[in-house]
Structure 1
Amino acid sequence: MSDRGSVESYRDLEVWQRGIVLVERVYEVTDGFPEREQYELTSQLRRAAVPIPSNIAEG
């Protein structure tokens, strides 16, 4: 495993970093959704994206 580098924290993991970027992107995209979608599709997409990096951090 020496050629992969050391991981001292979940924050060092590329997959976690990409998860954070995904969450940020989902929020950016859903900010542009119509107001009528605020409590349905927008909420559902955000609630689905947020646990991704959290679950990676938990292992």
Structure 2
Amino acid sequence: MSIYCNLLTKKLFCMANNGFFGLFFSIRIIKISKLKDQFQIFEKHQYLANSLFYHNIY
């Protein structure tokens, strides 16, 4: 599975390579990059919790 999702590429390209999790991951990266530093820590912990949750499902 290719994790390489450049921010210049479209979301459909990431979704085609990584499926739903790739699309979810690319959206999170864009969302985290737009937030301030104090909110980034919370978002990263929330993303780790979500990735563990999706990992247990699949």
What TM-score range do you get, normalising by the shorter chain?
A: 0.3 to 0.5
Q: What TM-score results when the alignment is normalised by the length of structure 2? A: 0.47
Q: Which has the higher contact order (CA 8 A, sep 6+)?
A: 1
